[in-house]
Amino acid sequence: MPSSSPLATDVLIAGAGPTGLVLANLLGARGVAVTLVEKRADLIDYPRGVGMDDESYRTIQAMGLLKEVEPYTLPQHIMRIVNGRGEVIMTNDPQGEPFGYPRKFGFLQPLVDRAMYEGLARYPNVQVLFGRELCSIEEDADGVTAIVRHVEGPEGDKALGESTEVRARYLVGCEGGRSFTRKWIGAEFVGVSPSTRWVVVDVRNDPLGFPNVYLGADPARPYVSIGLPHGVRRFEFMLFDDEPNERVEDNAFVTQLLHEHLPEGTELDIIRRRVFTHHGRVASEFRKGRVLIAGDAAHLMPVWMGQGFNSGVRDATNLAWKLEAVLAGRADEKLLDTYSAERRDHAKAMVDLSLAMGNIIKPTDRRIAFGRDALARTMNISPAVKNYFSDMRFKPMPRYGRGVVVDHETLTPGTAHRKISRRRVPRLIPLRNALSKNSPVGAQFIQPWVGVDGEDVRLDDALGTGFALLSWGLNPATLLDDATRAELDAQGVRLLCAVSPNQVAWAKQECADTGTTVVADTHGALKAWFDKASVGTAIIRPDRFVAAACFNADLPKAVRAVAEAGHLLPTQR
């Protein structure tokens, strides 16, 4: 039985890793009462993830922590795969900044995690309890009752061993691969755990100094060498079957691993050395009633594509606005069903890609490595193929075909075909003429710099924190009746009119007294997006994914379809 006073909260989050910290920040900013419990006495202080995508950086922007996180990141982090002869067989250097930032960053996770944790101090509605382990869950129609036990603390702490009852409306397990919450849900952890082991060695005062990432597909011993911020370098080496884990504590063995990578006589300032095994697993379900899982509790993936951290951030970004909408009474609980529907397929795709990348790097059979290298040389002859890998077009970007989406052609709620098909709407010439035959619905909207009231801002800062209607060259308020506009206002939906800079004065007159924000397309990126998609208005979700894209004449129908797909509840009764 609990031996201390019960706690009440809206959302109980178990696990103060990156996923739990991101979710707590996003919910805290939305005014949700959050209790975050962590089994350890403090945050993990050793390096883990080292790669951050632009999508995650965009979420950090949404958290309001760009300035705090930026010092611990390194942009334009290029990855190269080299064979045993030092020949580059693949380069991964994606160009462009569609979401407002360079595509890839190196980063120091302990320091980024610390910045996110310290960011929670901004919110009186968020409390963090260290040394507390989630050990019991009971669900009923109105909420969840959880028991957390005080398992770590200073020596002599009289509270050690005591249990606390926490009453929450929802519980999210972010406790990692051994998640108690996932086991309580009863979800299968489907996938594989390759038997290969790796040792990671992180050092200060980088003894090499050159930047970026090298994945060594060397059959003699596959390795990784990564330049990171603050003069940190990471080395990783595959361990062979006859090399027990304990050997990594032997300095002579580590010196042997590194002898071909460092100048003779180099002295290392080692931060940490650890042995790990890659896992490729995805939970069969991410939700059971009022209990959900996210991050490593929901999926584990090998390190090769640097997607463990990023996939957890995607989970939290997808889930936060949905939980808040349900808690605030603006949406039915069915909205939470879309979390698993949207996130699980993409998480599995990233696991599969990471496993495939590992199979390229780790072969130790020289015949297999020779065939791989020969194939790579042949493929690199073609500039198109070489650019395909360099620009990372093989990476499956999140794109939701089910959930809070509306079909591009039929405006059917809850589903979105990936491709435009003349068979579905053969009469609409504008759809047939669309420059891109890929529907923009279900994908992330771009984030260029724009002008608002004479100031340059990132688009997300203009969109606000809720849903947004963005129309090109027209005030979307003129397309909606008074009742619909009142409902959108009650739901916190922001209306925006995007125009070329020389149209701003006209647009401000048109939008006066309607509450519509005028956005100057100072770099032409928005005009290009609407041109390529061949639509006039986009309905953008709080997580910056496109819920619907339509002709202006269809906007009222699209608004109703998004409300149905998102199980949004009418506020004007």
Q: Residues 326, 429: one domain?
A: no
Q: Residues 162, 296: one domain?
A: yes
Contacts of 38 (CB under 8 A, 6+ apart): 15, 16, 20, 128, 129, 130, 131, 132
pLDDT of residue 155: 64
Q: Residues 33, 113: one domain?
A: yes
Torsion over CA: 26, 31, 32, 34 (sign): positive
265, exposed or middle or buried, with CB in 10 Å at 0-12, 13-18, 19+?
Answer: exposed
pLDDT of residue 573: 47
Q: Residues 424, 313: one domain?
A: no
Are 166 and 186 in contact by the 8 Å Cβ rule? The answer is no
Q: Residues 465, 319: one domain?
A: no
pLDDT of residue 373: 81
Q: What is the CATH number of the domain that holds 48?
A: 3.50.50.60
Q: Residues 52, 160: one domain?
A: yes
pLDDT of residue 397: 81
The DSSP bridge partners found for residue 271 are none
Q: Residues 550, 411: one domain?
A: yes
| Mean predicted lDDT score pLDDT of the chain | 91
> Of 349, 354, 17, 83, which Cα lies nearest the Cα of 194?
354
Q: Residues 421, 526: one domain?
A: yes
Domain count, the chain: 2
Q: For the beta carbon of residue 422, count every other beta carbon within 10 angstroms.
A: 12
Are 427 and 436 in contact by the 8 Å Cβ rule? The answer is no
Find the domain containing 160 and state its range: 4-67+107-185+284-353
pLDDT of residue 308: 83
pLDDT of residue 332: 96
Query: What are 25-53's pLDDT values in tens digits?
Result: 999 999 999 999 999 999 988 768 899 99
Q: What does the alpha-carbon distance between residue 225 and residue 208 come to, in Å, rounded to a whole number? A: 10
pLDDT of residue 436: 75
Is 434 within the bounds of a domain? yes
Of 330, 353, 376, the position where a domain reaches its end is: 353
Is 77 within the bounds of a domain? no
Is 259 within the bounds of a domain? no
Of 316, 337, 353, the position where a domain reaches its end is: 353
Is 231 within the bounds of a domain? no
Is 518 within the bounds of a domain? yes
Flag residues of the chain having pLDDT under 70. 1-4, 47, 154-158, 195, 304-305, 389, 391-392, 394, 422-427, 429, 432, 572-573
pLDDT of residue 2: 62
Are 237 and 257 in contact by the 8 Å Cβ rule? The answer is yes
Is 179 within the bounds of a domain? yes
Q: Residues 291, 143: one domain?
A: yes
Q: Residues 507, 429: one domain?
A: yes
Q: Residues 63, 150: one domain?
A: yes
For the chain, the helix, strand and coil percentages under 3-state DSSP, each to the nearest 5: 35, 30, 35
Is 470 within the bounds of a domain? yes
DSSP at 408: T
Q: Which two tokens stand for residue 219?
A: 């059959």
pTM of the model: 0.93
Is 169 within the bounds of a domain? yes
Q: One-letter amino acid identity for 522?
A: T
pLDDT of residue 158: 63
Query: What are 189-225's pLDDT values in tens digits?
Result: 988 777 678 899 999 999 999 999 999 999 999 999 9
Q: What is the CATH number of the domain that holds 489?
A: 3.40.30.10
Contacts of 190 (CB under 8 A, 6+ apart): 281, 282, 283, 284
Q: Residues 344, 481: one domain?
A: no
Of 332, 353, 374, the position where a domain reaches its end is: 353
